[in-house]
Amino acid sequence: MNPNPTGAPTPHETGTTASAKPRSRKGGRRTNASMIIGAALVVLIVGLALVSFVWTPYDPNSIDPVARLQSGSLAHPFGTDTFGRDTLTWVMVGARITLLVGVVAVGIALLIGTPIGIIAAFFAKQSWGMWIDAVIMRANDILLAFPALLLAIIFAAVYSPGTGPAMVAVGIAAIPGFARVARSGTLQVLGSDYVRAARASNRRVPAIALVHVLPNIAGMVIVQASVAFAISVLAEAGLSFLGLGTQAPTPSWGRMLQESQQYLSTHPELALWPGVFIALAVLGFNLLGDGLRDRFDPKMEARGA
Amino acid sequence: MPENLLDVRDLTITPAGADAPVLHDVSLSLAPGERVGLIGESGSGKSLTAQSVMGLLPEELHARGQVHLQGHSGNLLDATEKTLAGLRSDIVSMVFQEPMSALNPLMRIGDQIAEVLRIHGKVPRGQIPTRVRELLHDVHLPDPDSARFAYPHQMSGGQRQRVMLAIALANSPRLLICDEPTTALDVTVQKHMLDLIAERVAAVEAGLLFITHDLAVVAGVCDRVIVMYRGRIVETGSVDEIFTAPRHDYTRGLLASSDLEATDDRGRLFTLKTALAYSGPQVQGAEPGSATGEWENSGGEEDAPAPTRGGSISTSVEQSTADDVSAASARESTPLIEASDVTRVFRGRGLFGRRRSDVTALGGIDFTVAAGARLGIVGESGSGKSTLLGILSGLDRPTSGHVRVGDIRVEAASSQALRRLRENLQIVFQDPFASLDPRMRIADIVAEPLIAAGVDGDERTTRVEEMIEAVDLDSDSLRRYPHQFSGGQRQRISIARALVTRPQILVADEPVSALDVSVRAQVLNLLTDLVDEYALTLLFVSHDLGVVKHLCSDVIVMRDGQIVESGATEDIYANPQEEYTRRLIAATPSLAEALAAG
Amino acid sequence: MLTYAISRAIQFALSLLVASVAVFALMSLLPGNAAQVALGTNATPEAVAALEAQYGLDRPPLIRYFDWMGGMLTGDFGTSYVTGADITPVIVGSVQVTAILVIAAIALSILIAVPLGTFAALEQRNWIGVTISAISQVGIAIPNFLAAIILVIIFSLTLGWFPSQGWMAPIEGFGGFLLRLVLPVVSLALVQAAILTRYVRSAVLDVMREDFIRTARAKGLTRSKALFVHGLRNAAIPVITVAGVQLATLLVGAVIIEQIFVLPGIGSELVRAVANRDLVAVQGIVMVLVLLVLIINLIVDILVPIVDPRIRNAA
């Protein structure tokens, strides 16, 4: 269910937003449709979560047996669930968990994966250090054999199921993606003449990493973060759907979807709202990633002249 | 004149969404069997013109006008892809610039040639294998029988380009278009390729439209020349007319700046601006080696004291630094750089993989460079010249042998000594687009070596500003990013970065080979000025013998990791001792020779 | 090529070894050992000790690892501490169900994605191409369990064409087997097809920009013919790699689909084992899944040089 656990670059939209020959394109920062729509969706989800801290239509845990399983109405725009809880309120509060898991998981992966990738690339460039790079990348490949969902299930089995282990597991599973992106980006930068020039003028390794490597790979890492965020939204929803993620009574989109299953024949709209919001969140981060890639892709880099 | 083979009238090309055309009202024609050169620098529109004729224009470009080809009635610009496909390779064929990517990497060579025969169905199926062998034989590929079964990656660039030519001429088209077919090839390979093109075009009696930036190449291959500049045709004429009596200023400028044997009264190459004083290529006898007389003249000028340029930076400081390492009096006796029996072997890599065979990039190199000398290192791809530079600049270490730069023994140097070496030696790289960090401002790029050297604050700012002025860029440039500059300007920035720490030695790795001819002359002149002004010792790596001949006092000829020949430039050029050097010199296209021969 | 295959095989074995150590360490060494987990937190220390003694959990970890590993190599996944039953037949049976599901899904998604992605690339400037890529973008965002729920609502609950859950082995009735397979396979395949479509489109667009396509057109092929004769095989190289990764994720993604459709696959067994706190079963199933993922990677690694002579010769 995770579209891109490797962190292999997702194909980017050449057709809809840019002309066919990105290489011939002159520089200049472009904003494009993917990025605008993606950013808007992300802002919507983040907005829902933020608003939920100060205001929700109802108390998320207030049970109203009279108002059970209602369809959409003025009082309950998205309807109510089997306990009479307001679905809109649950969607709003559920956004928090989705974003929390995303932020923590991506944070773990980015902070561990990126330095690993950069370090591996520096070793790969030394004849005496190539084996260190090889070992790091092998370990990376082995970790890749554990997709996010599988690792999260293992964590749920060993520890108790919950949001915490889920975040950590999804984060660990996303490390290889960041390490690969950072490594290939760093190798590219280290192979460039401007780094040779920097070395020839006695710049030390930390300075080269900070001044040349980081700014030049930042774009790729941000794109990867956006893609990894989408993956962790999916993973959290899937885990909670299995009952191995966020536990009751904390609202979570995945669990809402699971609970809707027994009423599918009578109240299919119960599945509609959490489903729509999961899809919107994933779509938002994927589009944002695509849009950012269009801006940062080295192929798009202006060749001046 | 009989019906023209090709007629292009008022061809105008505009990119989708842009107002200004990139090609303006281009009209040209070719008689059957005629060989025409289309000359221009990057952005002149010469390739677009050719692509329009082939119907291979990128979709986002819109073409207006008329293109007529003998054997097809109607305007090619209005023809469908299907019609055009039927004409391509049958009536008009094309050979492209980049041989490495032009062939399908997953398909055997023989199959790729057979395909073009099968598409047009002129050869009976049963005879196709025989015909493929013939075609491979015609382009002088060694062992055509086994070449059929090779994949493209198993061939060299020159061999692949031969295959491309075999494909292009397989159906005996009436017109062959060559788009910079030899630009990516080594000089000696280029020579053979040009001869082959001429030979094969004559054999199938096709017309030739030869696109290039290199005037000397055109002079050798074509009867007539069309000069393009910024999307327009500026001049047309026979080779003789264009090269001896150019009418348009741009043609004159191009001619003047590509002539590396002609210099102005300051001993500098002509540029577009100074071209008026240029008197045309000096045609000597057909004997290639007889250029000595003229060479000695300009060689004398090279050694003359440098003209002071606006008194920007005093040279006395630089002189005294140079004297720290080797006293001026001892210049002859103690060379600044000394290399003996240097080898560099790259080990096959792989932790889990099979061990690959080792590659010997340098196999026992000996040479010395006197302080203040200008040493040219000449060699074709794979000769080991880049590896040698890496070792000299302390970025790489030799596998064995001794290298001394100043008082530093490179092979055994501590990291501290290496730092000292690098402070005294700076590099200018080949690709102006890859050698500047795209995310840094010019000010930070030029300041970087000073930061490493611990120069701070106002002094750093002042020196960066001085340096950017010294390379003839204005101080506004400092706030901008690399992508806002042209190739030539970027090379100036690279030079500024290299010289800002005032090194004794400047290493230039093919610094002008990616530049247009007119820009090349300007950058070479700047380099000459600065080398004089800062009393630099110059190591200049190039595949272009003309450039080296103009710039360097001494030369090393390298091949396969070995030094073939070395000595004073004038001696080597006038009197090459080795067969390889002779071939290299003979293969280097020269305007004068081409005109004399034609 | 042979040395290449051998070195890949060695890599595969090494990866498997490291992965098994990792899984074992995670399951057996971290706090909350198997016996404790199996009996629950309320269990008396005596009961835990007794269970540990019964299954040899009091032995040193290294011994237990080799015991477990040795068992697996001979096709014995061990005995559940919870039910006391041999878990090997359960794993073997459920893997077959999942394999059928996943292979059918990847095959269907390739059948959809390759023509669609190619078409979207060829028509990238037309509304058709733009529409295909927009739909695939939305498709990626839909988790497969949401797709499953939507399909069930439409085709099972509303139209009644397919059963909403259950499994029938092919020998019990091939028609019933197929009928029950449709919705799970389609819900897995649709999302995968969306992802794959985008990769195919992007790979084809990249190939179309290659010089050798221009050469093919210069030889007298039309744009689309040049693509079919020369482009697709080149575009296949990155797509094979991606399809391998997709297959591996499908394997794990099937966990949720098996839950929804109540299929006796390995995912259902995994979830049941986790719920029952049956760590031996979890450990065995996880190893089987990791083994399958590694096998898929190995196959991809060997397939690519078969298509690409450059890698074949370098190897």
pLDDT confidence band for A172 (50 / 70 / 90): very high
B353/B51: higher pLDDT: B51
Has residue B298 got a pLDDT over 60?
A: no
Cβ neighbours for C179, distance < 8 A, ≥ 6 positions apart = C162, C163
Strand partners, B540: B376, B508
Which pLDDT does position C112 carry in this prediction? Answer: 94
Residue A302 clears pLDDT 50, i.e. is over it: no
Q: How many residues does chain A have?
A: 305
Chain A hits for B436, Cβ within 8 Å: 194
Q: Which residue has the higher pLDDT, C59 or A14?
A: C59
pLDDT (tens digit per residue) in B303-329? 333 333 333 333 333 334 444 444 444
- Domain presence at residue A19: no
Of B516, B508, B465, B464, nearest in space to B487 by CA:
B516
Q: Which residues contact B576 (CB under 8 A, 6 or more apart)?
A: B289, B565, B582, B585
The CA dihedral of B113, B116, B119, B123, to the nearest 10 degrees, is: -80
Q: What is the pLDDT of residue B326?
A: 42
Could you tell me which residues come within 8 angstroms of residue B11 by beta carbon, excluding any fewer than 6 positions away? B23, B25, B26, B27, B49, B52, B63, B64, B65, B66, B67, B77
Distance CA C18, CA C20 (A): 5
By DSSP bridging, strand B175-179 and strand B537-542 are unpaired
The residues pairing with B339 across neighbouring beta strands, listed in sequence order, are: B367, B403
Contacts of C120 in chain A (CB under 8 A): 15
**Does residue A86 carry a pLDDT above 90?**
no
What would the mean pLDDT of A88-99 be, rounded to a whole number?
A: 86
Q: Which of A111-115, A285-289, B482-486 has the highest mean pLDDT?
A: A111-115
Say which residue, B152 or B381, is predicted with more confidence: B152
**In chain C, which residues have pLDDT < 50?**
none
**What's the rounded Cα separation, in Å, for the pair C98 and C253?**
11
Mean local confidence (pLDDT), B356-369: 83
Instruction: Tell me the average pLDDT across B53-72.
Output: 89
Q: Are B299 and B550 in contact (CB under 8 A)?
A: no
**CB contact at 8 A, C56 and C64:** yes
Instruction: Spell out a b/e string for A36-52, using b for 16 or more CB atoms within 10 Å of the CB, else e.
Output: ebbbebbeebeebbeeb
> CB-based burial of residue A213 (10 Å sphere; 0-12 exposed, 13-18 middle, 19+ buried)?
buried
Question: pLDDT class for B286, splitting at 50, 70, 90?
Answer: very low
Query: B260 falls in which pLDDT band (50, 70, 90)?
Result: confident
Please give the C-alpha separations between residue A13 and each of A113, A216, C290, in angstroms, as whole numbers: 26, 22, 33
Is A200 inside a domain boundary? Answer: yes
Give me the mean pLDDT over the A266-277 stretch.
82
Which positions in chain A touch C244 (Cβ < 8 Å)? Answer: none
Task: Give CA–CA dist A198/A194, Å, rounded.
Answer: 6
Q: Is A197 on the interface with B (CB under 8 A)?
A: yes
Sheet strand arrangement including B6-15 = B23-30, B6-15, B61-69
What per-residue confidence (pLDDT) applies to C33?
A: 61
Neighboring chain C residues of B104 at a CB cutoff of 8 Å: 212, 215-216, 230, 234
Distance, CA of C22 to chain centre: 20
| CATH of residue A193 | 1.10.3720.10
Mean pLDDT of B32-50: 90
Q: What average pLDDT does this structure show over A133-140?
A: 90
- Classify residue A141: in a domain, yes or no: yes
Q: How many structural domains compose chain A?
A: 1
Q: Say whether B439 and A127 touch across the interface (CB within 8 A).
A: no
Does B410 have pLDDT greater than 70?
Answer: yes
User: Residue A27 has what pLDDT?
Assistant: 38
Dist. CA B434–CA A298, nearest whole Å = 12
The beta-carbon neighbor of C7 closest among B86, B103, B352 is B352
Angle, CA of A74, A78 and A80, to the nearest 5°: 95
Which other chains touch chain A, taking contact as 3+ CB pairs less than 8 Å apart? B, C
Contact of B351 with chain A, judged by CB distance below 8 Å, is answered with yes
Contacts of A301 in chain B (CB under 8 A): 438, 483
B493, B471 contact by CB (below 8 A): yes
B190 contacts chain A (CB < 8 A): no
DSSP state for residue A273 in the 8-state scheme: H
Assembly ipTM:
0.84
In a domain, A259, yes or no: yes
Residue numbers in C near A242 (CB within 8 A): 255-256, 259, 271
Given A201, A301, A305, which is nearest B448 (Cβ)?
A201
Task: Please say whether the beta carbons of A160 and A98 come within 8 A.
Answer: no
Mean predicted lDDT score pLDDT of chain B? 84
Would the pLDDT of B283 be above 70?
no
Binning pLDDT at 50, 70 and 90, where does residue A113 land?
very high
Dihedral, A69, A72, A74, A80 alpha carbons, nearest 10? 30
Domain carrying residue A283: 29-59+79-303
Position A17 pLDDT exceeds 60: no
CA distance A142 to C11: 10
- pLDDT for residue B598: 55
Out of B349, B393, B445, name the one closest to residue A130 (CB): B349
Q: Is B483 on the interface with A (CB under 8 A)?
A: yes
- Nearest-Cα residue of chain A relative to residue C35: A158
| Residue A21 within a domain | no
Averaged pLDDT for residues B441-453: 92
Asked whether the beta carbons of residue B101 and residue C211 sit closer than 8 angstroms, the reply is yes
Q: What is the CB-side half-sphere exposure of residue A264 using CA atoms within 13 A?
A: 20
Counting as contact any 3 or more CB pairs under 8 A, the partners of C are: A, B
| Dihedral pair phi/psi, residue B462, rounded to 5° | -60, -45
Q: How many CB pairs under 8 A join A and B?
A: 100
Q: What percent of chain C is predicted at pLDDT more than 90?
A: 24
Q: Can you say how many angstroms the Cα of residue C3 is from the centroid of all Cα atoms in its chain? A: 28
Nearest CA to C247 among C204, C209, C296? C296
pLDDT at B104: 93
Tokens of residue C156, six digits:
């099972």
C307–B106 C-beta distance less than 8 A: yes
Whether B114 and B128 have beta carbons less than 8 Å apart is answered as: yes
Nearest to B360 by CA among B123, B560, B515: B560
Distance, in Å, from the CA atom of C11 to the CA atom of B352, rounded to the nearest integer, reads 8
Is residue A3 included in any domain, yes or no?
A: no
Residue A117, domain member (yes or no): yes
C235 neighbourhood in chain B, CB within 8 Å: none
- Diameter of chain C measured on Cα atoms: 84
| Per-residue pLDDT, B177 | 95
The pLDDT of residue A7 is 37
Which chain C residues are Cβ-neighbours of A158 within 8 angstroms? Answer: 26-27, 30, 32, 37, 279
| Residue C255 parent element (H or E) | helix C232-260
Which of C219, C233, C234 lies at the smallest CB-CB distance from B115?
A: C219
Kindly determine whether residue C130 and residue A153, on different chains, have CB atoms separated by under 8 Å.
Answer: no
pLDDT at B419 over 90: no
Angle at B254 between CA B248 and CA B256, to 5 degrees: 100
Which of B42, B352, B436 lies at the smallest CB-CB distance from A194?
A: B436
Which pLDDT score, from 0 to 100, does residue B297 have? 34
Question: What one-character DSSP code corresponds to residue B453?
Answer: T
**Distance (Å, whole) CA C313 – CA C315:** 5
Of C3, C212, C220, the CB nearest to B102: C212
Confidence of residue A2 (pLDDT cuts 50, 70, 90): very low
Q: Compute the mean pLDDT over every residue in chain A, rounded to the nearest whole number.
A: 80
Q: Return the percentage of chain B with pLDDT > 70, whole number.
A: 89
Model pLDDT for residues B74-113, shown as the tens digit of each residue = 899 999 999 999 999 999 999 998 888 899 999 999 999 9
pLDDT at position A19: 30
Per-residue model confidence as pLDDT tens digits over C179-201:
788 899 999 999 899 999 989 99
- Facing residue for A264 by CB, picked from C22, C149, C256: C149
Strand partners, C79: C86
Give C 31-50 residues with CB within 8 A of chain A. Answer: 32, 37
Q: State whether A11 and C203 contact (CB < 8 Å).
A: yes
Higher-confidence position of A273 and B536:
B536
In a domain, A255, yes or no: yes
Please, which residues bridge with residue B23 across strands? B13
Contacting A residues, span 224-263, partner chain B, CB-CB under 8 Å: none
